A and B are shown apart, each in its own frame.
Chain A
Amino acid sequence: MTTFILRRLVLSIPVLVGILIFTFSLNRLIPGDPCRALYGEKATDELCDAFAVRYGLDQPIPTQLGIYMLKVIQGDFGVSIRFGRTVSELLVERLPVTLELAAAALVFATLVGVPLGILSAYRHNSIMDIGGMVFANVGVSMPVFWLGLMLSFLFGVLLKDTPLALPPTGRLSAGANPIPFFEAWGIATEDSANGLMFFISRLNVVNAILTLNGQLLLDAIRHLILPAVAVGTIPLAIIARMTRSSVLEVLNQDYIRTARAKGLSEMKVVNIHAVRNALLPVVTIIGLSFGGLVSGAVLTETIFGFTGIGRTLFEGISARDYSLVQGVTVITAVAFVIINLTVDVLYGYLDPRIRLS
Chain B
Amino acid sequence: MQRVETAPPISLRPAETLAPIKRATTFQSIAFVVFATMLIRIAIIGLASLLSVFDRSGSIRTFIDGVNDQFFVGNYVIAVGLAIYLHYRLTRGEQMNVLFETFTHMLRNRSAIIGTVLIFFILIVGDFAPVIATHNPIQPLFGTEGLPPRPQSAPPCIPAFGCEYALNILGIDLNVRDLFSRIVYGARTSLTVGIASVSFAIAIGTMIGLVSGYAGGWVDNLLMMFMDVLLAFPSLLLAIAIVTIQGPGLDNALLAIAIVSIPVYARLTRASVLSVKELEFVTAERSLGAAPGRILFQQILPNTLTPLIVQGTLGIGGAVLEAAALSFIGLGAQPPQPEWGQMLSEARSYVFSAPHLVFFPGIAIMITVLGFNLLGDGLRDALDPRLSRR
Contact in complex: A153, B362 (CB < 8 Å): no
Within 8 Å of chain A (Cβ to Cβ): is B125? no
Within 8 Å of chain B (Cβ to Cβ): is A283? no
Contacts of A290 in B (CB 8 A): 234
Contact in complex: A141, B366 (CB < 8 Å): yes
Q: Which of A149, A292, A299 has the most CB of B within 10 A?
A: A149
Contact in complex: A314, B358 (CB < 8 Å): no
Contact in complex: B225, A329 (CB < 8 Å): no
Q: How many residues of A contact B (CB 8 A)?
A: 50
Contacts of A141 in B (CB 8 A): 317, 321, 365-366, 369-370, 373
Contact in complex: A150, B242 (CB < 8 Å): no
Within 8 Å of chain A (Cβ to Cβ): is B160? no
Contacts of A325 in B (CB 8 A): 241, 244
Within 8 Å of chain B (Cβ to Cβ): is A317? yes
Candidates A137, A145, A302, A333; contact of B370 at CB < 8 Å: A137
Given A141-B317, A298-B236, A317-B244, also A146-B365 (CB < 8 A): yes
Contacts of A30 in B (CB 8 A): 244-245
Which A-chain residue is minimally distant from B358 (CB atoms)?
A: A149
Q: Mark A7-18, 1 if CB is under 8 A from B, else 0.
A: 000000011001
Contact in complex: A295, B228 (CB < 8 Å): no
Contact in complex: B351, A152 (CB < 8 Å): yes
Q: Mark B223-252, 1 if CB is under 8 A from A, else 0.
A: 001101110111111101110110100000
Contacts of B238 in A (CB 8 A): 329
Contact in complex: B111, A137 (CB < 8 Å): yes
CA distance A298 to B236 in the complex (A): 9
Contact in complex: B236, A145 (CB < 8 Å): no
Contact in complex: B232, A19 (CB < 8 Å): yes
Within 8 Å of chain B (Cβ to Cβ): is A294? yes
CA distance A248 to B111 in the complex (A): 19
Contact in complex: A138, B225 (CB < 8 Å): no
Candidates A19, A137, A245, A313; contact of B229 at CB < 8 Å: A19
Within 8 Å of chain A (Cβ to Cβ): is B36? no
Contact in complex: B348, A295 (CB < 8 Å): no
Contact in complex: A313, B233 (CB < 8 Å): no
Within 8 Å of chain B (Cβ to Cβ): is A156? yes
CA distance A27 to B352 in the complex (A): 38
CA distance A114 to B292 in the complex (A): 47
Contacts of B359 in A (CB 8 A): 150
Within 8 Å of chain A (Cβ to Cβ): is B187? no
Give residues of chain B (328-375) contacting chain A, Cβ–Cβ below 8 Å: 328-329, 341, 344, 348, 351-352, 355, 358-359, 361-362, 365-366, 369-370, 373-374
Within 8 Å of chain B (Cβ to Cβ): is A195? no
Contact in complex: A140, B365 (CB < 8 Å): no
Contact in complex: A18, B228 (CB < 8 Å): yes
Contacts of A115 in B (CB 8 A): none
Within 8 Å of chain B (Cβ to Cβ): is A144? yes
Contact in complex: A317, B240 (CB < 8 Å): yes
Task: Give the Cβ gap from B388 to chain A, nearest Cβ, in Å.
Answer: 9
Which A-chain residue is minimally distant from B234 (CB atoms)?
A: A291
Contacts of B374 in A (CB 8 A): 137
Given A26-B242, A137-B111, A313-B240, also A292-B234 (CB < 8 A): yes
Contact in complex: A314, B329 (CB < 8 Å): yes
Within 8 Å of chain A (Cβ to Cβ): is B324? yes
Candidates A29, A146, A152, A295; contact of B362 at CB < 8 Å: A146
Task: Give the Cβ gap from A5 to chain B, nearest Cβ, in Å.
Answer: 19
Which A-chain residue is minimally distant from B111 (CB atoms)?
A: A137
Contacts of B229 in A (CB 8 A): 15, 18-19, 22
Within 8 Å of chain B (Cβ to Cβ): is A56? no
Contact in complex: A336, B358 (CB < 8 Å): no
Within 8 Å of chain B (Cβ to Cβ): is A211? no
Within 8 Å of chain B (Cβ to Cβ): is A142? yes
Within 8 Å of chain B (Cβ to Cβ): is A337? yes
Contact in complex: A329, B325 (CB < 8 Å): no
Which A-chain residue is minimally distant from B115 (CB atoms)?
A: A137
Give residues of chain A (1-49) contacting chain B, Cβ–Cβ below 8 Å: 14-15, 18-19, 22-23, 26-27, 29-31
CA distance A292 to B352 in the complex (A): 27
Contact in complex: A31, B247 (CB < 8 Å): yes
Contact in complex: A143, B370 (CB < 8 Å): no
Which B-chain residue is minimally distant from A292 (CB atoms)?
A: B234
Contacts of B56 in A (CB 8 A): none
Task: Give the Cβ gap from B342 to chain A, nearest Cβ, in Å.
Answer: 12
Which B-chain residue is minimally distant from A133 (CB atoms)?
A: B111
Candidates A14, A29, A147, A295; contact of B237 at CB < 8 Å: A295
CA distance A333 to B111 in the complex (A): 35
CA distance A253 to B237 in the complex (A): 41
Contact in complex: B234, A153 (CB < 8 Å): no
Give residues of chain A (43-76) contacting chain B, Cβ–Cβ below 8 Å: none
CA distance A78 to B237 in the complex (A): 21
Give residues of chain B (12-36) contacting chain A, Cβ–Cβ below 8 Å: none
Task: Give the Cβ gap from B226 to chain A, nearest Cβ, in Å.
Answer: 7
Contact in complex: B234, A336 (CB < 8 Å): yes
Q: Can you list 5 A-B pairs, Cβ within 8 angstroms, ordered by A?
A: A143-B324, A146-B362, A149-B358, A291-B234, A325-B244
Binding site for B on A (CB under 8 A): 14-15, 18-19, 22-23, 26-27, 29-31, 137-138, 140-147, 149-150, 152-153, 156-157, 241-242, 245, 248, 290-292, 294-295, 298-299, 302-303, 313-314, 317, 325, 328-329, 332-333, 336-337
Closest 7 CB pairs of A and B: A146-B362, A18-B229, A295-B236, A291-B234, A141-B369, A141-B370, A245-B389
New A-B contacts (8) at CB < 8 Å, excluding given A141-B321, A317-B244: A15-B232, A26-B245, A137-B377, A141-B373, A157-B352, A157-B355, A314-B329, A333-B234
